[in-house]
Amino acid sequence: QITLRESGPTLVKPTQTLTLTCTFSGFSLSTTGVGVGWIRQPPGKALEWLALIYWNDDKLYTPSLKSRLTVTKDTSKNQVALTMTNVDPVDTATYYCAHRPGFWSGYFSFWGQGVLVTVSS
């Protein structure tokens, strides 16, 4: 059974750096083809894909936020981290991590429950 859970601060101040952790079970990020993605959803708005990290440490980022995002993995701990620098109130959103089952699988098959991050002074 695959599960994912996001953790991190729920309130951050503008200009600070946000770090979220995704802890997962039921799969390994050392398995060929597997990836973990980050997606966010501002309150009442659409989903926005942010980043993706693969088993081989390849990383993809959405271009509009690429300069502010870093995604890393710790395979031994079954964790993936997302760092976002210089946050702004527009970054207020629920942040989800999700499992991508294969390199050629373009979908996210399992999602965490999400963590609501508010950016406010």
111 is an interface residue for another protein by CB under 8 A: yes
Q: Which is nearer to another protein, 36 or 37 (by Cβ)?
A: 37
Q: Are 37 and 103 in contact (CB under 8 A)?
A: no
Which of 2, 17, 31, 107 is in the footprint of another protein by CB under 8 A?
A: 107
Element spanning 7, H or E: strand 3-7
Give the integer Cα–Cα distance in Å for 116 and 121. 16
In angstroms, what is the minimal distance from the CB of 62 to another protein? Answer: 4
- Bin 13: left if φ > 0, else alpha if -120 < ψ < 50, else beta: beta
**Sole window of 28-36, 48-56, 67-75, 76-84 interacting with another protein (rule: CB under 8 A):** 48-56
63 is an interface residue for another protein by CB under 8 A: yes
49 is an interface residue for another protein by CB under 8 A: yes
List contacts with another protein (CB under 8 A). Answer: 37, 39, 46-49, 52, 60, 62-64, 96, 105-114
